[in-house]
Amino acid sequence: MHRLKDFFLSTRPQFFPGIAVPVSLGASVAWHTHGEFHPARFLISLIAAVLFHGGMNVLNDYFDFKNGADNINTAALTPFTGGSRFIQNGRITPSETLVFGLLLVLLGSIAGLYLALTINPLLIVIGALGLLIGFFYSAPPVFLVGRGLGEAAVGLSFGVLTVLGAYLVQTGELGAHAFFSSLPMSFLIAALLFINEFPDYEADKKAGKRTLVVRLGPERGRWGILVILGGAYASIIVGAAFGALPKASLIAALSIVTVIPGAVGLIRNYKGGAALIPSIKSIILAHLSTGILLIVSNLI
């Protein structure tokens, strides 16, 4: 049982809301635009997304072990940054980590393939894009995070692709409303990744991970949080103003009260350390609350 618990925790389940919320958002957009909701389809798509997410988290740990990023990271703010550290603590071997990650991705792919074959083959394209982005985020030779594309890749995968995919599962088609609904989630998940990069700055720099923080430096890069968060809330306001989102979605902008402390905290504590933990929690809360409020706006 102890080993099973280790494997489960290595998936970093505390971050599963990051994928569950956009899946639910996509389904809620389908309800708003088509009045459709298929519980079985939703459950299978949610299971597939969680398996993919868990698998990618595990594979990210493996490749960060191989490139040395997590091995040399002495400033990690567990459980938020620096990976799960099960390899570093000797609780799961690197080979076990690789096999487990691939198994989770395979199981998620089987569920996704079932949906694609029974609903719309376009799901294969969306799933394949998400799979490639997630795998090559940290895997060579593409190594997206090493090319300065990590934040954009995560925003695309956990925002646009996930919401569009969940909408497609429910309706059998793609839609502009789903795309515009995904933008706040894309920006906010990118903001969460961005703030997590500050305590990992030194290790990422030594390992060749060219994150935005590494490219800009922490002191200059800290102001980037305002740009990313600004994109999130601008997409809500502009989307509602031009009819791309329901007017009620403006309630999601209220989550800005949860994100302001996080932005201010990062600007003050950009050098990392435990003082940054409340700011990371603030961004997590902003992502969760914004997604929930967007879902509510679609349901009402």
**Domain ranges within the chain, ordered by starting residue:** 2-299
Predicted pLDDT at 186: 97
Q: Is 123 exposed, middle or buried (0-12, 13-18, 19+ CB in 10 A)?
A: buried
Predicted pLDDT at 74: 59
Predicted pLDDT at 207: 77
Predicted pLDDT at 16: 93
**Whole-model pTM?**
0.92
Q: Which single residue is written with the structure tokens 């199981």?
A: 107
* CATH architecture of residue range(s) 2-299: Orthogonal Bundle (1.10)
Predicted pLDDT at 209: 82
> C-alpha angle 257/81/187, rounded to 5°?
45
| Residue spans of alpha helices (H) in the chain | 2-10, 17-34, 39-66, 94-118, 122-136, 150-155, 162-171, 176-196, 201-207, 212-216, 218-221, 224-241, 256-268, 277-299
> Closest by alpha carbon to 60, among 145, 175, 126, 179?
145
294, 28 Cβ separation under 8 angstroms = yes
Q: What is the mean pLDDT of each run of 10 residues along the chain (300 residues)?
A: 83 92 98 96 97 93 77 61 68 90 96 96 95 89 87 95 98 95 97 92 83 92 96 96 94 94 94 89 95 96
Residue 74, number of CB atoms within 10 A of its CB: 8
